[in-house]
Amino acid sequence: MLSSPPLTGATADLPSSASYERARIRTDSHLQRAEGGGRMVLGGARNGARIVEVFQRSPIRIMIPRVAGSAVEEAVFINTSGGIAGGDRLDCNVTALAEASIAVTSQAAEKVYRALNEPARIATKLKACEAAKLAWLPQETIIFNWARLSRKTEIDVASGAELLALEWLVLGRAAHGEDMVGGHISDTWHVKKDGRLIWADCFRATDGTFPNLKRNALLSSCKAIATLIYFGPDFAARLEFFRGIAASLKCHCAATCVSGLIVVRLAAPLSSDLSLALRTLLQQFSQQFGPGPFRVPKMWSC
């Protein structure tokens, strides 16, 4: 039987095709990455909104559940890729025209996976025109250890509009007992009223920050954090509500006002504690200030 001669010299040092491919891939840009988005424009309708325009590009899909031709009350953004990796780019854009009333949420908790060197980039743009009611209430974003995320939320509200917007982060996978020891998070807000900037904010954590987050002056034992903002009528009554309910929630909670905008911060050791607090807050808000999109989204219970 003929046999191949043994490999010698430089030929023997060549890695297998699999190991060579692993060695070659050292950045997220070498890998296939997602670049998708979704856009909705909604007009006014009795007891809700009507669809004016919908655009979606994979992996983002937009579902609009409704019953027997009734007006749209809730829209759901879905990431069909099952998570977000370094180098991904996702855009979400919602415009509520005059008299529109809509709640927008996500299908499930979003997951941001460990990255090599590039951040996942998420851009959210919300616009509420005069006499519109817009609620942006996605479920939580879970950040895996060594993940990299750059998220920017831009909001434009008109005088006479009403808007409630929420974003919340969970640092590490609690079920795995995971602590974040490294990575990068940049979570930025820009809010404009009638085209003029009234509030800007950024939560930023880097490799050098995570070892210090457990200090009492920072997050202490909290691994789940949220920012909720409100703009709308009867400002003083809403601010009093948020401050009044804070003590009854099973988490840290405080509310302040900036240029006619209410900013509420919440933090808890567990995401389940924060979820319960947000449900309680939204339920009581809708009970006290009447029907509309500012309530617990139906998708949160699915």
Residue 27 lies in a domain: no
Bridge partners for 197 per DSSP: 192
What confidence score (pLDDT) does residue 213 get?
92
On whether residue 171 sits in a domain, the answer given is yes
Asked whether residue 212 is domain-assigned, the answer is yes
Whether residue 220 lies inside any domain: the answer is: yes
% of the chain exceeding 70 in pLDDT: 89
Q: Is the pLDDT of residue 19 over 80?
A: no
Kindly state whether residue 7 falls inside one of the protein's structural domains.
no
What pTM value is reported for the model? 0.89
Contact 160, 127 (CB under 8 A): no
Inside any domain, residue 22: no
CB 37 within 8 A of CB 57: yes
Alpha carbon distance 230, 262 (integer Å): 5
Confidence of residue 28 (pLDDT cuts 50, 70, 90): low
Range of the structural domain that residue 205 is part of? 40-290
Give the pLDDT score at 176: 82
Averaged confidence pLDDT in the chain: 90
Give pLDDT tens digits for 239-250.
999 999 999 999
Q: What is the DSSP letter of 144?
A: P
Whether 298 maps to a domain, the answer reads no
For residue 140, give Cα distances in angstroms to 51, 110, 170.
26, 6, 7
* Least confident interval from 15-24, 117-126, 165-174: 15-24
Average pLDDT estimate for 169-182: 89
Average pLDDT over residues 14-21: 45
Mean pLDDT (whole number) for 278-299: 95
What Cα–Cα distance (Å) separates residue 183 from each residue in 62, 177, 179, 207, 211? 30, 17, 11, 5, 11
Q: Residues for the chain: how many in total?
A: 302
Q: Has residue 188 got a pLDDT over 80? A: yes
Amino acid letter for position 80:
T
Q: Does the structure show a pLDDT above 70 at 33? A: yes
Q: Lowest-confidence range among 18-22, 156-160, 287-291? A: 18-22
Residue type, 40: M
- Give 48's pLDDT tier (boundaries 50, 70, 90): confident
Mean pLDDT of 16-40: 68
Predicted confidence band at 131 (pLDDT cuts at 50, 70, 90)? very high
Q: Per-residue pLDDT tens for 195-240?
A: 999 999 999 999 989 989 999 999 999 999 999 999 999 999 999 9
Collapsed DSSP state (helix, strand, coil) of residue 240:
helix
Tell me the mean pLDDT in the region 123-144: 97
What domain count does the chain have?
Answer: 1
